[in-house]
Amino acid sequence: MQGILVLGELDSNGLASVTGELLSLARSLADETGEQVSVSLQGASVGSEADDAIAIGADKVYKVESPLLSEAQIDAHLSALEQVARSAEPSIVLIGRTPLGRDVGPRLAFRLGVAVAQDCVEVSVNAAGRVTATRPVYGGNAMASVSFSGDGTQVVIVRPKTVEAGEPDSGRSGSVEDFAANLDDSVIKARLVETVSQETEGVRLEDAGIVVSGGRGLGGPEPFEQLQALSDLLDGALGASRAACDAGWIDHSHQVGLTGKTITPDLYITIGISGASQHMAGCSASKNIVAINRDEDANIFKSATYGVVGDWNKILPSFIETIRELRDD
């Protein structure tokens, strides 16, 4: 067993952002152990994504092409990845905690007869290439450090946005193998019937450089209009705590946190959010947090770079006005 194999995912823009993150993570781990990084790129057709993967850190690309891999047909992707893994015999398989990865990862581990570490937010290796991974437990109230016994393949499922994708280096070289996976309709036991894409206006929450989020302290759905105005002014995206989403004030697609989205913006502005551990699990990697909360003991202030203690009703209008003036200058 040697090397790190990444499950590559493709989307309408080419290589999915999570794949860039995993390749960067794989590269840094492999550089410590002197091993190779390979990636299984699976789709109806794989083109320039192979070069993109090499530029980010792959030494070898397994190109697995089949009409059955055109969509997120779990069984087809699982079978393709299993065949690549049996051929490559990697010591580590890195998979993103995406809708596809969440299904494929544990099933791949089962088929290979090895263990899986789910929902990891930190991954390190020792000199022998054995993984130690950190994952949130008890609803994000504690972090567990896990390692794998034995010497088999280690399947590690990594939460998106917990690692930053490195800059591509077009001078890197690597090899591309057309991998002929044995795939036919019979491998598909549960068929994907329909994919409904969610329309997003403006920048996606997960990709936004600035996120403005509201919580239960807003008291109702109407104030989210002010937050939307602020986020538009900053070319940002609108987020929310689970309490605000559960109350029906804003759609769950805006939820940040353990059971919502993980974000890593340069600036995260929270308004009326207490900073519960499950919320922070999704935003603690933000570079700067600005919190407006009337409770000076609110947990959010422990993570905030800048904090304003007070009623958002009084603070937000002048905050928005000042930003508007600064933008107009």
Contact residues for ligand FAD, defined by CB under 6 A: 139, 215-217, 241-244, 255-260, 272-274, 276, 278-279, 282, 292-295, 298, 311-313
C-beta of 76 vs 243, nearer to ligand FAD: 243
Of 232, 159, 161, 259, the residue nearest 240 (C-alpha)? 259
Rounded least distance, CB 230 to ligand FAD, Å: 15
Q: Measured from the CB of residue 301, what is the shortest distance to ligand FAD in angstroms? A: 10
Looking only at the bridges linking them, the beta strands covering 14-15 and 10-11 are: antiparallel
Alpha helices in 135-198 (DSSP H): none
Cβ–Cβ < 8 Å for 183, 208: no
Q: Given the structure tokens 């009623």, which residue do they identify?
A: 311
Rank residues 153 and 241 by Cβ distance to ligand FAD and give the closer one.
241
Q: Which is nearer to ligand FAD, 57 or 272 (CB)?
A: 272
Q: Quote the least distance from Cβ 274 to ligand FAD, whole Å.
A: 3
**Shortest spacing between CB 153 and ligand FAD, in angstroms:** 30
Closest approach of Cβ 319 to ligand FAD, in Å?
12
CA distance 98 to 104: 10
- Dist CA 123 CA 216 (whole Å): 34
Best CA proximity match to 277, nearest among 118, 80, 142, 130: 142
Nearer CB in complex with ligand FAD: 107/279: 279
Are the C-beta atoms of 39 and 8 separated by less than 8 Å?
yes
**CA trace torsion 211, 216, 221, 223 (10° rounding):** -60
Min CB(116)–ligand FAD separation in Å = 21
Q: How far is CA 125 from CA 122, 128, 289, 304, 306, in A?
A: 10, 8, 31, 31, 35
C-beta closer to ligand FAD: residue 169 or 295: 295
Nearer to ligand FAD, 10 or 308 (CB): 308
Residue among 172 and 216 whose Cβ is closer to ligand FAD: 216
Residues 297 and 196: their CA atoms lie apart, in Å, by 42
d(CA 226, CA 231): 9
Nearer to ligand FAD, 204 or 252 (CB): 252
For the CB of residue 21, give the shortest distance to ligand FAD in the complex, in Å: 20
Write the DSSP symbol of residue 256: B
- Least distance to ligand FAD, CB of residue 254, Å: 10
Q: What is the C-alpha to C-alpha distance for residues 84 and 79, in angstroms, rounded to an integer? A: 9
